[in-house]
Amino acid sequence: MNDGFLRVAAVSPHVCPGNVKLNTAEIIANIKYLASREVKLAVFPELSITGYNCGDMFLHSKLFDSAAAALKQILKETASLPILFYVGLPVISSGKLYNAAAACYMGTVKSVTLKKHIPNYNEYYEKRYFNPGAEAVTETGTSALIKLTSEKSGVNVISDAVCGAEICEDLWLPNPPSNELCEAGATVICNLSASNAVIGKDIYRRDLVKMQSARTISAYIYANAGRGESTSDCVYDGQSFIAENGVILAESEPFMGGSIIADIDVSKLNSERMRMSTFKVTETNFPTVKLNMEKKNYANLLRNFPRYPFVPADNNELAKRLEYIIKMQAHALCKRMSSIGTKTAVIGLSGGLDSTLAFLVTVKAFDILNISNKGIIAVTMPCFGTTSRTKSNAEKLAAAFDTDFREIDITEAVKLHFRDIGLPEDDRTTAFENVQARERTQILMDIANMHGGIVIGTGDLSELALGWSTYNGDHMSMYGVNSGVPKTLVRHLVRYFIKDSSKEIAAVLEDILATPVSPELLPASEGEQHTEEIIGPYELHDFFLYYFVRQSYSPEKILRIAKQAWKGVYSPEVIKKWLDLFISRFFSMQFKRSCLPDGVKVGSVSLSPRADFRMPSDISKNFLF
């Protein structure tokens, strides 16, 4: 499990009820195929050795004798294959018949799980044959958790997978066995199922698997019986899933059969459980079987890593999220303004992307509070690098919403400050740029004091991650409406406002969206200053940010998945260059984040020291390497 990835499969083989020889051959062929695909864990359907629909033949000794012999044959023919697989069969214990799942590995049965909840309603009448399973010893083996480890010593490391099983109906109850299994430490749940097809059941079943994986913070492998089980009044479609913490990684097409394969991220699941303090792993009576598997570094991971993890791929979902975020930002600002009793907001409007979003959110908040937009003081402060394009867009935007617009040229004030501190005007060090940022912040703060208002912060989450702000300059405000919004999402949020805007406002917003991101701090005569040429593409940094902070991935793991996600867009060398810069700046600039002003938390990634991110300002990054 290199990098914590484990390749798993859910199989819906062509099963014929009662034809044990055919079913056995199908199972063996599938195991050999999956082993060739480097799968390490495979799950077959319920009673897959005999078939689920055998009726009263389950009470015939010849059937379960054939099943026992078939299991021995399967074990023998797969003994050399390093793949753990679960198959379903009927077993006898103390003269009682049980519906069971046998976990097999390299020629031996490692665990046998008995179905606990036996359905006897509608089209199901399993109690006619099977008994509810307890954690009993059977003639085939015992029920156990199975730990897959790549450590020779068997030491429990974070990438270990712990597998447990439940069978079909077990999942549909208020307290499925998988709850107890996960509380006992299982990170992968295997469900062997024979669930027939009924209109609407496919959606319900999918949601059930998805939500159970989310509630238990686990990977859930659901293998369902296919069309070969269809008989009499029931049809089976082989609908199978592989889910991971609420996300469907793979699912089968109805009535297609075969297998679905995905790479689950076990280390991510363990990290999520550590993060959630309310998730408790308790002492139980479950025995644990350790299987030592060789680490496998899959050349190509069988899962997708979205290039834009903060931006939903589905347009309908994206539209809903954008609307919700805007409401979050606006209502958070409303609360701050109401709490301190002000009807004035001061904002530095540069004509750039971030200040535009902050301005639009402020207008939205004033609309909610039913306050005149004249209470919004929009200030543009041109200096050495200000272009006519951004200045003009700021003017048009402020005028379109009938706000109090002010232009304050800071050039002479900045030059005076240069003379006061002895900085030559031809100096191009950081001080040259930061003097301008601090002068602008000082003006905004003083205007806010004059009118009893607050300064609205415009910096976004991506800039906070990189420390791309001037300490006590644009780094400071009285409320940061964008502080929880990554740059890749800022662009979508600004575009979202266009749909309800007039043609004039829409044209301004389109031009702002088309303007390259720039701090505009160096003289325009010296050429345009493009932020992403200096610190790298924000789309890459947002990718790094999500997987480093939210998923706790190592730099090596991020590099690995970034190469796969951005193949054909950025070369591995370019990705490595900007990842190194991201890690370096993320740690060295923590001191700026340690004293951030309040700002609304929008998503699952926040860098506020008061929300859910804690990191000392002077911690070393060396532990990562």
CATH of the domain at 442: 3.40.50.620
Given a cut of 60, whether residue 235 has pLDDT beyond it is: yes
Q: Is residue 617 part of a domain?
A: yes
The model carries a pTM of 0.91
Q: Which CA distances in Å does 71 have to 42, 76, 370?
A: 15, 9, 73
Domain assignment of residue 142, given as a range: 2-292
Percent of the chain clearing pLDDT 70 (strictly above): 97
- Specify the pLDDT at position 157: 40
Which is higher by pLDDT, 600 or 151?
Answer: 600
- Specify the pLDDT at position 280: 85
Given a cut of 80, whether residue 138 has pLDDT beyond it is: no
Catalytic position from the list 54, 104, 163, 168: 168
Given a cut of 80, whether residue 295 has pLDDT beyond it is: no
Q: Residue 156's pLDDT band (boundaries 50, 70, 90)?
A: very low
- Specify the pLDDT at position 232: 78
- Specify the pLDDT at position 72: 96
Catalytic position from the list 40, 110, 115, 147: 115
Q: Which structure tokens are listed for 571?
A: 């070369």
- Specify the pLDDT at position 141: 55
Q: Are 483 and 600 in contact (CB under 8 A)?
A: yes
Q: Is residue 562 part of a domain?
A: no
Q: Residue 165: which CATH number?
A: 3.60.110.10
- Specify the pLDDT at position 48: 97
Does one domain contain both 239 and 353? no
Q: pLDDT per residue over 368-399, tens digit each?
A: 999 999 999 999 999 999 999 999 999 999 99
- Specify the pLDDT at position 354: 97
Which is higher by pLDDT, 137 or 558?
Answer: 558
Q: Which structure tokens are listed for 324?
A: 């919700």
Q: Residue 160's pLDDT band (boundaries 50, 70, 90)?
A: confident
**Catalytic residue check, 46:** yes
Q: What is the mean pLDDT of residues 202-218?
A: 96
Q: Residue 137's pLDDT band (boundaries 50, 70, 90)?
A: very low
Does one domain contain both 263 and 348? no
Does one domain contain both 330 and 261? no
Given a cut of 80, whether residue 101 has pLDDT beyond it is: yes
Does one domain contain both 162 and 281? yes
**Catalytic residue check, 168:** yes
- Specify the pLDDT at position 142: 63
Q: Which of 292, 307, 337 is the last residue of a domain?
A: 292
Q: Residue 449's pLDDT band (boundaries 50, 70, 90)?
A: very high
In terms of Cα–Cα distance, which of 274, 270, 292, 273 is closest to 150? 292
Q: Residue 424: how many CB atoms within 10 A of its CB?
A: 10
Alpha-carbon distance of 314 to 154, in angstroms, equals 43
- Specify the pLDDT at position 608: 94
Given a cut of 90, whether residue 436 has pLDDT beyond it is: yes
Q: What is the mean pLDDT of residues 476-498?
A: 97
- Specify the pLDDT at position 159: 56
DSSP letter for each residue of 62-124: HHHHHHHHHHHHHHHHTTT---EEEEEEEEEETTEEEEEEEEEETTEEEEEEE------STT-
Q: Mean pLDDT of all residues in the chain?
A: 92
Does one domain contain both 202 and 146? yes
Given a cut of 50, whether residue 489 has pLDDT beyond it is: yes
Domain count, the chain: 2
Q: Is residue 305 part of a domain?
A: no
Q: What is the mean pLDDT of residues 493-509?
A: 94
Maximum alpha-carbon separation in the chain: 100
Q: Is residue 344 part of a domain?
A: yes
- Specify the pLDDT at position 154: 39
Q: Which structure tokens are listed for 63?
A: 């059937």
Which is higher by pLDDT, 350 or 298?
Answer: 350
Does one domain contain both 324 and 283? no
Q: Is residue 575 part of a domain?
A: no
Does one domain contain both 85 and 22? yes
Q: Residue 151's pLDDT band (boundaries 50, 70, 90)?
A: low
DSSP H stretches of helix in 401-485: 411-421, 430-451, 461-466
DSSP 8-state symbol, 173: S
Q: Which of 230, 260, 292 is the last residue of a domain?
A: 292
Q: Is residue 582 part of a domain?
A: no
How far from chain centre, in Å, is Cα 10? Answer: 22
Does one domain contain both 106 and 46? yes
Q: Residue 612's pLDDT band (boundaries 50, 70, 90)?
A: confident
Given a cut of 90, whether residue 120 has pLDDT beyond it is: no
Does one domain contain both 338 and 262? no
Does one domain contain both 396 and 528? yes
Which is higher by pLDDT, 123 or 402?
Answer: 402
Q: Which of 258, 292, 326 is the last residue of a domain?
A: 292
Alpha-carbon distance of 588 to 582, in angstroms, equals 10
- Specify the pLDDT at position 136: 47
Q: Is residue 300 part of a domain?
A: no
- Specify the pLDDT at position 58: 86
Alpha-carbon distance of 29 to 81, in angstroms, equals 12
Given a cut of 90, whether residue 134 has pLDDT beyond it is: no
- Specify the pLDDT at position 56: 87
Q: pLDDT per residue over 519-561, tens digit each?
A: 888 998 887 889 999 999 999 999 999 999 999 999 999 999 9
Q: Are 267 and 150 in contact (CB under 8 A)?
A: no
Q: Is residue 240 part of a domain?
A: yes
Count of residues in the chain: 625
Given a cut of 80, whether residue 487 has pLDDT beyond it is: yes
Catalytic position from the list 26, 46, 169, 251: 46
Does one domain contain both 209 and 319? no
**Catalytic residue check, 115:** yes
Does one domain contain both 325 and 288? no
- Specify the pLDDT at position 199: 92
Alpha-carbon distance of 528 to 520, in angstroms, equals 8
